[in-house]
């Protein structure tokens, strides 16, 4: 069994080490390697083929997640190989449809095993994320991008308070609350406070532990 792998990473030293690692395993063959999104897409358009892609999220020209649909359209499994380890970053990748998520701090053999496992049709995710998914803790993910103050405002919006009432409660001006709400809408990708309230109630924002 030979697994053809395409590498996408814009750190030359890491890419060289990854190349050395993969070449030491007979069952893995490097099909191509790129440092940016444009050259990767050009390769795919030119009928580039592989079984698995090892993809860094932080590329100099864009978020590496943008390539996931391109790879999936060609039937290429995707493993995110990155330093991004925050829950919301991993969740973003899962929602985009990646087949695996491996941190660059992982042991070399874990990377090889991830390639083999994903190629066989399995998923490969960090154990702490699997545990959180099993417990349903990632249900709150939409609010991970919000600050503590924004979370407080969301909780009062969900209770039906006006901007003025929220300001009075938190000791803020109505205009400051309005600015916070605008930021909340932008971060959550919503259009109005009713949608914020609905999402907060649906995801149990009232029981969310406070941030440190």
Considering the domain architecture, whether residues 88 and 69 belong to the same structural domain is answered as: yes
> Is the whole model's pTM more than 0.75, yes or no?
no
Domain that holds residue 9: 3-135
Query: Could you report the per-residue pLDDT of 5-16, keeping only the tens digit for each?
Result: 999 999 999 999
Mean pLDDT for 148-162 is 87
- Say if residues 196 and 190 touch (Cβ distance below 8 Å): yes
Tokens of 148: 């503590």
Whether residue 182 is contained in a domain is answered as yes
Tokens of 103: 């941190």
Give the confidence band of 198 by pLDDT, cuts at 50, 70, 90: confident
Q: What distance lies between CA 74 and its chain's CA centroid? A: 21
Residue 181 has pLDDT above 50, yes or no: yes
Q: Which residues have CB under 8 Å from 51's CB, separation 6+?
A: 3, 4, 5, 76, 77, 119
Considering the domain architecture, whether residues 161 and 125 belong to the same structural domain is answered as: no
Q: What is the mean pLDDT of the chain?
A: 85
What's the pLDDT at 210? 40
Residue 208 has pLDDT above 50, yes or no: no
CA distance 21 to 9: 15
φ/ψ region of 47 (left if φ > 0, alpha if ψ in -120 to 50, else beta) reads left
């Amino acid at each position: 069994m030979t697994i053809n792998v395409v590498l996408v990473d814009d750190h030359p030293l890491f890419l060289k080490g990854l190349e050395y690692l993969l070449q030491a395993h007979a069952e893995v063959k490097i099909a191509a390697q790129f440092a940016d999104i444009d050259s990767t897409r050009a390769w795919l358009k030119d009928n580039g083929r592989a079984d698995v892609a090892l993809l860094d999220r932080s590329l100099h020209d864009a978020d590496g997640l943008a390539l996931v649909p391109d790879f999936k359209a060609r039937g290429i499994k995707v493993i995110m190989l990155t330093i991004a380890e925050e829950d919301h970053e991993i969740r973003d990748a899962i929602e985009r449809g990646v087949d695996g998520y491996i941190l660059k701090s992982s042991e070399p053999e874990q990377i090889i095993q991830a390639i083999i496992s994903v190629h066989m049709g399995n998923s490969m995710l960090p154990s702490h994320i699997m545990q959180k998914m099993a417990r349903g803790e990632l249900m709150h993910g939409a609010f991970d991008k919000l600050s503590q103050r924004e979370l407080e405002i969301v909780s009062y919006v969900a209770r039906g308070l006006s901007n003025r009432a929220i300001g009075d409660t938190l000791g803020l001006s109505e205009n400051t609350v309005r600015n916070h709400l605008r930021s909340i809408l932008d971060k959550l990708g919503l259009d109005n406070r009713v949608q914020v309230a609905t999402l907060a109630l649906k995801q149990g924002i009232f029981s969310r532990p406070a941030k440190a």
